């Protein structure tokens, strides 16, 4: 799969990585709130676009549950509890992707340079196309965030935004899907 290939709903999945109470508190508040707002929007849009969503929690006994703003939205989607940093180290994660014909991942979550980056690098090693949504990932400081994104880019990942990815997934205006997505697209926060 080439990074030059356009995103399409079939074969694409959104992965929400470790947006948990204690981890979110370690990220600057404005960045954390931006990631949460964007991820809320993305989960709703993925439902409209019929794109599956998966989510992970890093050691929830110590780091807490997924933040309340996202927890209800994620119910019913596959959840992967982990103590490894990259999601592909969790039994069943890669298998779920293969079973569902997923070859492209959209990544959101924290922290950019740790769990997001390692998941992206593992996905690239497995031959998947990876889009990291730069406005939907964060780290405890800007330098680590930037270094994580650069490392992913150097490895062949696509650094994009939620809006770029959603418009690419839709492909055209004037459809029932576009009309259903429009309220989220008009919300540019």
Neighbours of 34 (CB within 10 A): 17
Candidates 22, 115, 179, 186; catalytic one: 115
pLDDT category at 52 given cuts 50, 70, 90 is very high
Mean pLDDT value of segment 125-147: 97
| Residue 187 is a catalytic residue | no
- Say what the pLDDT of residue 4 is: 66
Candidates 82, 135, 186, 187; catalytic one: 82
pLDDT category at 154 given cuts 50, 70, 90 is very high
Mean pLDDT value of segment 38-63: 97
Query: Running DSSP on this structure, what letter comes out for residue 89?
Result: G
Bridge partner residues of 108 (DSSP)? 16
| Residue 72 is a catalytic residue | no
Q: Which residues of 148-165 are buried (b: 16+ CB within 10 A; e: fewer)?
A: bbebbeeeebbbbebebb
pLDDT tens digit string along 79-103? 999 999 999 999 999 999 999 999 9
At residue 187, does pLDDT exceed 90?
A: no
| Residue 18 is a catalytic residue | yes
pLDDT category at 188 given cuts 50, 70, 90 is confident
At residue 5, does pLDDT exceed 80?
A: no
Options 3.40.50.1220, 3.40.50.300, 3.40.50.850, 3.40.190.150; CATH of 12-186: 3.40.50.850
At residue 189, does pLDDT exceed 80?
A: no
Neighbours of 99 (CB within 10 A): 9
101 burial via Cβ count (<10 Å: 0-12, 13-18, 19+):
exposed
At residue 1, does pLDDT exceed 60?
A: no
Q: Is 103 helix (H, G, I), strand (E, B) or coil?
A: coil
**Mean of all residue pLDDT scores within the chain:** 95
**Percent above pLDDT 90 for the chain:** 95
Q: Where are the domains of the chain?
A: 12-186
- Say what the pLDDT of residue 74 is: 97
């Amino acid at each position: 799969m080439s990074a030059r290939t356009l995103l399409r709903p079939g074969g694409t999945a959104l992965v929400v990585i470790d947006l948990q109470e204690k981890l979110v508190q370690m990220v600057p508040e404005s960045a954390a709130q931006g990631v949460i707002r964007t991820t809320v929007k993305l989960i709703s849009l993925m439902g409209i676009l019929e794109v599956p969503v998966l989510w992970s929690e890093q050691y929830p006994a110590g780091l807490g549950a997924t933040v309340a703003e996202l927890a209800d939205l994620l119910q019913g989607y596959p959840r992967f509890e982990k103590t490894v940093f990259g999601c592909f180290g969790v039994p069943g994660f890669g298998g779920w992707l293969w079973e569902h014909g997923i070859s492209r991942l959209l990544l959101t979550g924290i922290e950019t340079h740790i769990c997001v980056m390692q998941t992206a690098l593992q996905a690239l090693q497995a031959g998947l196309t990876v889009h990291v949504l730069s406005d939907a990932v964060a780290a405890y400081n800007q330098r680590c965030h930037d270094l994580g994104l650069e490392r992913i880019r150097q490895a062949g990942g696509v650094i994009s935004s939620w809006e770029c990815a959603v418009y690419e997934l839709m492909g055209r205006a004037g459809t029932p899907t576009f009309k259903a997505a429009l309220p989220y697209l008009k919300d540019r926060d």
